[in-house]
Chains A and B, each alone.
Chain A
Amino acid sequence: MTASLDISEDDSDSIAELFNIGMGPPAAALSDLVGEPVELSVPSLRLVKRLSVAEELAVDSDSPVIAVREAFHGPFAGEAMLVFSQAAGLAMVQRLIPGELPADERDEALRDTLGEVGNIILDGCVASFSNMIRQEVEGGVPECSVGALDEVLAGRDETVMFVHIDARLSSGAANLQVLFFLDVAALDAFRLAIRHALAGLAG
């Protein structure tokens, strides 16, 4: 079956609202973890070529970034990702592991800590979606990587539905970007799932 490669204004509004709802529990979990409120932007979404995404993220593309990625599949498939600047990643680690880390443990602590933050945010969001659409969505194990923005975003340069949410600690200590890349082959299944979820939410 070929997916219809467009998103109507109504679908766009519905999908953004479900991502907004879906990010609530993981943002609350992150807030519990770091001990301060986490603020979320309104989700933005559009169909894009995957490799063009780097151009629109508010990250210094000349500096390495830290990404945590998790593939998911079920009635629809794709990839969820958290992207931190190095400064934001280190600030998050310092928040969760207070005190000076030995130099030879910093890299491992960075990957481990941000991997766990990724686990909480990305697994939490996948779970929220699964519960809203009442179908199981399986997530993989989050993987942490460090590199240039276009390297960590790398994937097949195909058209994806791209959803972008900015999350920041209210103190301004760290912000992170939450990205979802949905395979367009599954776009029709995704639309259908969204409509069922909205019908369920409407009671």
Chain B
Amino acid sequence: MTTVLIVDDSRLARDMVSGVIKSLQPEWTVVAATGGDDALTKVAEQTPNLAILDYNMPGMDGLTLAEKLREAHLMLPIAILTANVQDALRRRAEDLGCWFLTKPVTADKIRDLFQKTGVAS
């Protein structure tokens, strides 16, 4: 069973990403977390096949969370989700081996992410 972790402090954003994933892959499991600490707790319980992390969150930002996830899960595909499409941020995400996903999400963007990360053939 494929599991996707979504981390975003906004319920609307979590629901939108989850809704798109469910429309494309109804049988997959979506685990939602409201922030970095919540995400680390959930990943300790179950390792996802893909993590989609909002960048701009209170407390721990998405890149810091990505670094922490990388420590324990080197090969985990991670996408940074953001409206902040600065070139500098994109480069920092790429330096961490993360994909870049711009808000708002659409089915095309998520489908493309699945293909690039190899979680869906």
Contacts and interface: CB of A to CB of B under 8 A. Distances in A.
Contact of A96 (B12, B58, B83, B85): B12
Interface string A112-133: 1101100111011011101100
Given A32-B106, A139-B56, A141-B56, A120 B83 contact: yes
A124 B10 contact: no
Interface in B60-118: 82-89, 102-104, 106
A32 B84 contact: no
A156 to B, nearest CB: 24
B20 interface: no
The B interface, classified by DSSP as helix, strand, loop or mixed, is loop
B57, B83, B104, B106: residue with the most chain A Cβ atoms closer than 10 Å = B83
A142 B58 CA distance: 9
The A interface, classified by DSSP as helix, strand, loop or mixed, is helix
A199 interface: no
Nearest to B91: A136
B32 to A, nearest CB: 13
Given A96-B12, A139-B56, A33 B104 contact: yes
A146 interface: no
B11 A123 contact: no
Interface residues of B, number: 20
Given A25-B85, A29-B102, A109-B12, 9 more contacts: A29-B103, A96-B12, A116-B10, A123-B56, A123-B83, A124-B83, A127-B89, A130-B86, A137-B86
17 contacts: A25-B85, A29-B103, A32-B106, A112-B11, A113-B12, A116-B12, A116-B13, A120-B104, A123-B56, A123-B82, A123-B84, A124-B84, A126-B86, A127-B89, A130-B88, A141-B56, A142-B56
The 9 closest A-B pairs by CB, nearest first: A123-B84, A123-B83, A136-B88, A116-B10, A120-B83, A130-B86, A33-B104, A127-B86, A124-B83
